[in-house]
């Protein structure tokens, strides 16, 4: 699908929360095509990684294209379920899903509860403020300010470490940006691609992104702690996608050519 259609739909929805997920069989079950199904969980409100485009039947985004390509390499089909971000790890632990892909940062705390694939995306936290904001130029300037973050993300954890910051945890990135523009907070802290996508691709006015990065992060695919075999298969598939150029094609579709 062309970017113009995606951007028009996302802008019109203002990053609206995705609709209900489709149904499907669990891991190891057979689909109508005879392929095994990889049951995937994702919080589908994190453009450009995962989001709902009302003009498309399937969920859209970098993560969505990537996990479908990984499943294909494994001889499977991805059955993607829309779950709240803070419900993804519990869903893995209860084996409701096989894997979770949702712009999830690999960190030590999460490693206690799940396995992770090899990193598939390098990210970091950046800040968006109102265009006329002059008192905030760095993360240290957030002291004494109100900051919106998405609930359950590393954004909340890292901003709290700054100290003397009033953190407002909201359900989606869209809610955070709306709160900023309404004057309810002084800044939004989010993953860099989300901030950049919001400003550049939706034609947002009245806000600006600051260049400083608070953290350097890597995203990974989460897997049930007991399923090392699935972790191995996903890593092998991810490696093949890098080798055959498919990963680069997916990356370029959403972010432009990679700088190497």
Could you tell me if 92 and 230 are in contact, meaning their C-beta atoms sit under 8 angstroms apart? no
Best-predicted range by mean pLDDT (44-58, 68-82, 168-182): 68-82
Res. 7 pLDDT band, cuts 50 70 90: very low
- Mean pLDDT, residues 171-176 taken together: 88
Q: How many whole angstroms separate alpha carbon 16 and alpha carbon 146?
A: 23
pLDDT at 10 over 50: no
Res. 205 pLDDT band, cuts 50 70 90: confident
Tokens of 154: 């590393």
How many beta carbons lie within 10 A of that of residue 20, not counting itself? 8
Q: What percent of the chain has pLDDT over 70?
A: 83
Res. 168 pLDDT band, cuts 50 70 90: very high
Higher pLDDT, 91 or 204: 91
What burial class does residue 78 get, using C-beta atoms within 10 Å of its C-beta: 0-12 exposed, 13-18 middle, 19+ buried?
Answer: buried
- What is the Rg, in whole angstroms, of the alpha carbon atoms belonging to the chain? 18
Tokens of 235: 């890593």
CB contact set of 76 (below 8 Å; sequence gap of 6+): 35, 36, 37, 38
pLDDT at 187 over 80: yes
Q: What percent of the chain has pLDDT over 90?
A: 66
Q: Which of 45, 44, 5 is nearest to 174 (CA)?
A: 45
Could you tell me if 204 and 177 are in contact, meaning their C-beta atoms sit under 8 angstroms apart? yes
Per-residue pLDDT, 16: 39
């Amino acid at each position: 699908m062309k970017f113009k259609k995606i951007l028009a739909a996302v802008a019109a929805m203002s990053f609206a929360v995705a609709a209900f997920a489709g149904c499907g069989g669990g891991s190891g079950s057979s689909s109508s095509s005879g392929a095994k199904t990889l049951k995937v969980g994702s919080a589908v409100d994190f453009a450009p990684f995962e989001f709902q485009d009302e003009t498309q039947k399937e969920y859209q985004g970098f993560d969505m294209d990537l996990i479908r390509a990984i499943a294909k390499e494994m001889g499977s089909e991805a059955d993607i379920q829309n779950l709240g971000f803070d419900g993804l790890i519990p869903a893995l632990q209860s084996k409701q899903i096989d894997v979770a892909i949702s712009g999830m940062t690999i960190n030590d705390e999460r490693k206690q509860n799940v396995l992770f694939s090899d990193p598939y995306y390098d990210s970091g936290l950046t800040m968006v403020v109102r265009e006329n904001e002059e008192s905030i130029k760095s993360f240290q300037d957030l002291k004494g300010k109100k900051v919106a973050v998405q609930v359950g993300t590393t954004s909340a954890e890292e901003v709290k470490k700054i100290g003397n910051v009033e953190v407002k945890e909201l359900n989606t990135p869209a809610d955070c940006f709306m709160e900023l523009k309404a004057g309810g907070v002084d800044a939004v802290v989010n993953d860099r691609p989300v901030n950049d996508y919001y400003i550049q691709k939706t034609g947002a006015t009245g806000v600006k992104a600051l260049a400083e990065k608070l953290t350097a992060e890597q995203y990974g695919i989460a897997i049930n702690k007991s399923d090392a075999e699935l972790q191995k298969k996903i890593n092998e598939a991810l490696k093949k996608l890098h080798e055959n150029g498919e990963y680069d094609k997916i990356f370029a579709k959403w972010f432009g050519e990679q700088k190497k």
